[in-house]
Structure 1
Amino acid sequence: MLKIAFLSSISSKNVHTGGSEESLRLLINQFLYKKIKIYLITYPDNLLNKVNDRVIRIKHKCLSTMELYAPPVTLIPRILFDIKRCEKEGCEVCHVYNVFAMAGAGLYKLLGGKVVLIGTLNNYAGVCPAGHYLCGEVNKCNLIRRIRCLAENRSILFKLLSPYYALIYPLIIRLMKRLNGYIAISNSVKKNYISCGYESSKICVISNFVEKISCSYKNVDVTNLGGYFQILYVGGLSKHKGVDVLILAFSKLVKKNPKCHLIIVGDGPCRKYYEDLIRDLSLNDTVSLIGKIEHEKIWKYYQESSIFVHPGMWQEPFGRTILEAMSFGLPCVVSDVGAPPEIVGDAGLKFTKGDFNSLYDCLDKLCCNKDLRERLKSNIPERLDKYDPQKTIDYFLKYYNYLLNEA
């Protein structure tokens, strides 16, 4: 029986909130249908409550504040210790399910470790210390830029530590490049990592998959029922998510089409700014900022919406909420950067990132044209077939076995 250890995602807030954590939960639960023994090590340990009881759980306390500041560096002792534990348990594969933990895994390989190590490239911490790769080009990154990115919106202590972290980050990247293989969650991610010096032959693209949605949860076009044309956004409220672009585009749309409503589900550091923007544009009656809610409760909003918008400003590695929206039959509008256009294909529209007029044009087309919405909606099943759970799990197993044979 194959033994696999997962070193789980690391949340910057020590809470189970992000798409990465949800992807890992779904992945583990799918693996349990196979004859595989699974060990789970999580940082923090609250993901342990989200998975099947048959998983062998190795608990940890939540990370300290200092560990959360620079996890590629501060987690190295933990990662080394935990991979050694996995080795003693007879694990053949250790899947590091977050880029932040890859430096410790790389040091394990440098010291002669025998366990096959695989890293999931689900953010850009392997090329950018801030993890978001907003500049989009490796030749723009230098010591000064790294210090600025790391110090932004940080406490005085972290601002003082930023130069040291920025200085050693190239060494951290060299450690991250020592794993046996990598799984990029989109072609966009693979392309960006290759441009930053990672070996193409060591990166396999295996996308996230979508949970099967019961027919009872499927969306109907609420505009057919005399309701409002409802636009939905689900995600974080950070500047690189582009929610301000969506609000500005919507303010233009609602002047032409008063029977529109925008729902924003999520939370983040820019919430106050978006609340002020909504008030300044006199949109309080037509925009609802819901805040953070449990994942299962989001389904209600997918059901009641007409379309879904993902207005990202950065090289988004994937976009799980896009898959979820399409699972409910929602046509999607996405910016033309990162993985979202790759996911949507012909089941949605694309606009120029950061351009609210371009986004407005897409929203206006969908609001006024039911036939267009239905045509995009009819393309969704074929798009979702690419993200079928069973197919995805088979890809994982083939890649694990390939690396085991190569080791």
Structure 2
Amino acid sequence: MDSESSATDSTETASERLDVGFLPVEVPGLDGTGATYTAALLIRELSKHHDVTVYVVSQRTADRSQLPATDRVDYVVRDDLPKLPHPLLTKIDVVDDLTDRLERHDLVHSYSTGFIEPLSTLSTPTLVTLNSYQPVCPKGDMMWMDREKCGGSGRAKCAACIAGSAYTRKSGVETTLRSSYDSLAKLEFVQDSIAAREGISAYHLLSPHQRDDYAEFGFPEERLKVIPHFDSGEFAVSNPEAYKRGGDPEVGRDDDDPFTLLAVGAFKYVKGFQVLLRALPSILDAGYDVRVRIAGAGPHGDALRSLSSDLGVDDHVDWLGFVDHDDLPAEYAAADAFVYPGLLDEPFGRVFLEALASGTPVLSSDVGSTDFIVGDAGVRFESDDPESLAHAFGELRDDYERYQAATSEQLARFSREQVVSEFRALYADVHAGRSPTERTETFETERTVVRSD
């Protein structure tokens, strides 16, 4: 079957209403990771086209008043689960007990990466979203010793990496022990997930680089389909220029005002905030007046604040602490640029869409598929290289209007309509037993974004 006729067939079949079993990562509607948030968005959108039963399997308490949709959506709730011997392993046991019920659906879609092994035995078509590296890496980041990208797993290798990373992070005894226990308990889980990979009908990936990573781990390439996150519209502001110009859209940006950078994320070593802080002296020495606003919290926070003091840049840094999701749009919109200094290849990074939706260009480390997401609306720099970040800042600052003007066009590539349409076609392909890669790949072509050399 050629790709053109396959695309036509999938579009026509996508109108069929299916009975879908959906397993989110966590209780949809509660605060959590980007995967939790996106799962709630998908439930709302896909329930407009399919009958959806959501299987909530969680150690948290599910408040039905906060669940994201009720029209054509049923909920099967298994909450308040014990955390021991391990939260993920407890959830897998519950999904094992639900397999007879899951068999009744036309299609089962797990937005959690944790359920490859129990779902691999189902006779009904299955789709698993790989929104993390959990099935192939006990730490979930594919970073060997937190220093470089890992090229493959194995029990002994993974155990050594867990121990070495715990030493590198120096996050305190309690945090280190908790993190190490969590990772060590997943050693067998990773091996089980890899062994069961052929039993899943198709996999949904968030970005091209993530698809390539999983292909290298032996996941069947013809079953790997890239569909990114979509713009939820929640971070859009009516006039971002008004925010960036102090509330007056008629007044141009005053170059005497500091150029504001916003960074958002958990305070972990691999998030790279230390790289941003180390770049500040070079940026200031180059004559730029800059202010960095950092929103987040976590175990690496004390070390970051100490580093800021040691570098003498405290007067240029605002520590915002944890910022509620509802308050983030204004922070993005008020910033002149968003900066992501992370060291690891995030599967996607919803923060980039949040920045673009606010009319805010991006400075990003050259990891993962940041070129695919940011496009012409930003500048990349070498990961873990403060001088490269400082140089990239200069490029963006000196040609700021051009990068900012590109934000709306780049964001349009991730429209809700396009992404939901791709999911409907993917569901149709999986249900019909077609390979999802037979169709033209809408999101496969990576865009080129300027990188500072």
Structure-1-length-normalised TM-score = 0.87
Alignment RMSD (CA, Å): 2.7
Q: Equivalent residue for 1:76?
A: 92
In structure 2, C-alpha distance between the alignment counterparts of 1:306 and 1:155, rounded to whole Å: 36
Residue identity matched to 2:82: S
| 2:316 counterpart of 1:294 | no
In structure 1, C-alpha distance between the alignment counterparts of 2:354 and 2:68, rounded to whole Å: 20
Q: Which residue of 354, 358, 365 maps to 1:328?
A: 358
In structure 2, C-alpha distance between the alignment counterparts of 1:168 and 1:100, rounded to whole Å: 8
In structure 2, C-alpha distance between the alignment counterparts of 1:374 and 1:209, rounded to whole Å: 25
Q: How does 1:253-402 map to 2 (within 5 A)?
A: 253-257=283-287, 259-367=289-397, 369=398, 372-402=399-429
Q: Equivalent residue for 2:227?
A: 206
Whether contact under 8 Å (1:222, 1:306) holds in the other structure is: no
Q: Equivalent residue for 1:51?
A: 68
In structure 2, C-alpha distance between the alignment counterparts of 1:155 and 1:253, rounded to whole Å: 34
In structure 2, C-alpha distance between the alignment counterparts of 1:222 and 1:252, rounded to whole Å: 26
Q: Equivalent residue for 1:123?
A: 132
Whether contact under 8 Å (2:117, 2:193) holds in the other structure is: yes
In structure 1, C-alpha distance between the alignment counterparts of 2:297 and 2:181, rounded to whole Å: 28
Instruction: Call closer, same or farther: CA 1:141–1:404 in 2, change over 3 Å.
Output: closer
Instruction: Call closer, same or farther: CA 1:169–1:277 in 2, change over 3 Å.
Output: same
CA offset digits 1:260-283 (Å, max 9, x no partner) = 210111222211211211222233
Residue identity matched to 2:355: A
**Residue 41 of structure 1, CA deviation:** 2.2
CA offset digits 1:377-399 (Å, max 9, x no partner) = 22222221221111111111111
Q: 5+ unaligned residues in a row in structure 1: which ranges? A: none
| 2:201 counterpart of 1:180 | yes
Q: Which residue of 30, 39, 53 maps to 1:24?
A: 39
Secondary structure, aligned partner of 2:297: coil
Residue identity matched to 1:324: E
In structure 2, C-alpha distance between the alignment counterparts of 1:161 and 1:317, rounded to whole Å: 20
In structure 2, C-alpha distance between the alignment counterparts of 1:274 and 1:365, rounded to whole Å: 26
Whether contact under 8 Å (2:105, 2:124) holds in the other structure is: yes
Q: Which residue of 102, 116, 120 maps to 1:86?
A: 102
In structure 1, C-alpha distance between the alignment counterparts of 2:107 and 2:329, rounded to whole Å: 35
Residue identity matched to 1:118: L
Deviates more, 1:393-402 or 1:261-270: 261-270
Residue identity matched to 1:56: D
**Residue 172 of structure 1, CA deviation:** 3.1
Deviates more, 1:186-195 or 1:124-133: 124-133
Whether contact under 8 Å (1:134, 1:314) holds in the other structure is: yes
Secondary structure, aligned partner of 1:59: strand
In structure 2, C-alpha distance between the alignment counterparts of 1:218 and 1:225, rounded to whole Å: 12
In structure 2, C-alpha distance between the alignment counterparts of 1:261 and 1:138, rounded to whole Å: 35
Whether contact under 8 Å (1:10, 1:100) holds in the other structure is: no
| 2:187 counterpart of 1:169 | no
Q: Which residue of 141, 150, 160 maps to 1:148?
A: 160
Q: How does 1:102-121 map to 2 (within 5 A)?
A: 102-106=116-120, 109=121, 113-121=122-130
Whether contact under 8 Å (1:219, 1:305) holds in the other structure is: no
| 2:282 counterpart of 1:252 | yes
**Residue 127 of structure 1, CA deviation:** 1.4
**Residue 19 of structure 1, CA deviation:** 1.0
Identity %: 24
Secondary structure, aligned partner of 1:56: strand
Aligned length: 392
| 2:240 counterpart of 1:234 | no
**Residue 138 of structure 1, CA deviation:** 5.5
Deviates more, 1:211-220 or 1:196-205: 211-220
**Residue 155 of structure 1, CA deviation:** 6.2
Deviates more, 1:247-256 or 1:301-310: 247-256
Q: List structure 1 segments (4+ residues) > 4 angstroms apart after TM superposition.
A: 45-48, 136-140, 153-165
Q: Equivalent residue for 1:99?
A: 113
**Residue 174 of structure 1, CA deviation:** 1.1
Residue identity matched to 1:142: G
**Residue 95 of structure 1, CA deviation:** 1.1
Whether contact under 8 Å (1:210, 1:389) holds in the other structure is: yes
Instruction: Call closer, same or farther: CA 1:160–1:271 in 2, change over 3 Å.
Output: closer
Residue identity matched to 2:428: N
**Residue 318 of structure 1, CA deviation:** 0.3
Whether contact under 8 Å (2:82, 2:90) holds in the other structure is: no
